Amino acid sequence: MFRLFYTYVSAAMAPHMALEEVGASHELAFIDFDQPWPEDYLALNPHRKVPTLVDENGEVFYQAAAILFHLADRFPEAGLAPEPGSAERGHLYQTVFFMAEMLQPSYHMHFYPERHVTAPACEASVDAKASEWLTDLWGRIDTMIGEGPHFFGPNLTIADFYMAMLAAWNGPQHTSLRKYPNVWRNLEATVARPSVKAVYDHNKIAGLDALS
């Protein structure tokens, strides 16, 4: 039994999608951001972030992208990542790390602008810059997807889960995802998966309309 520590509409969403998709027996452990971080959670992950995944042997993993690759490798029959060492696998690293290193920090700037300034008066400016970045970056993601519908043509991979998670964080203050045709086509295909739908439902995200 896997245990995934999460909070709503967080970086736990993509690992949750992967657990659902591979059919791994799992339970969810809610972390309430309105309360102090539980000491027993910090003993697992001292970085004051979710997600954290604990496997059936008590091994602990954090960082959403790392958890996704680990689950894809633990459950190869689900076909969520190409063979290690293949060119496609290299491109999958590239795609996931691009989103983890470029888009995720821009959302971080939006959600926590106070952590990026020395003077509170600058917070709105940081948030505005984050929106500019996100508009630009979603355009680049659109180009990366191409014909799709998924990043790797017809094949669903963990990159699609990562993008469906970022899409759920998006808001109209950034940019409507509907204006990116390849992103939208990808979302239509990815969000139709029962695994992704289950996670969207759990996080009370009302499907694609909520992302437009």
Ligand X SMILES: N[C@@H](CCC(=O)N[C@@H](CS)C(=O)NCC(=O)O)C(=O)O
Least Å from the CB of residue 55 to ligand X: 16
Is 164 one of the binding residues for ligand X (CB under 6 A)? Answer: no
Instruction: Specify the stretch interacting with ligand X by CB under 6 A; choose among 49-57, 130-138, 141-149, 198-206.
Output: 49-57
d(CA 60, CA 109): 27
Q: Kindly tell me which of 143 and 173 has the beta carbon lying closer to ligand X.
A: 173
Least Å from the CB of residue 181 to ligand X: 27
Is 170 one of the binding residues for ligand X (CB under 6 A)? Answer: no
Is 116 one of the binding residues for ligand X (CB under 6 A)? Answer: no
Least Å from the CB of residue 64 to ligand X: 3
Out of 10, 95, 106, 195, the residue judged to bind ligand X by CB under 6 A: 10
Residue 129, burial from CB neighbour count under 10 angstroms (0-12, 13-18, 19+): middle
Out of 3, 29, 44, 49, the residue judged to bind ligand X by CB under 6 A: 49
Out of 4, 11, 19, 164, the residue judged to bind ligand X by CB under 6 A: 11
SS3 176: coil
| Backbone region of residue 64 per phi and psi (left: phi > 0; alpha: psi in -120 to 50; beta: other values) | alpha
Stretch 90-109: interaction string toward ligand X, x if CB under 6 A:
--------------x-----
Out of 18, 22, 24, 50, the residue judged to bind ligand X by CB under 6 A: 50
What are the DSSP calls for 101-165, one per residue?
Answer: IIIHHHHHHHH-GGGG-SSGGGHHHHHHHHHHHHHHHHHHHHHHHTT-SBTBBTB--HHHHHHHH
Residue 86 to residues 61, 95, 149: CA-CA distances in angstroms?
Answer: 24, 14, 21
The residues binding ligand X (CB under 6 A) are 10-11, 48-51, 63-64, 104
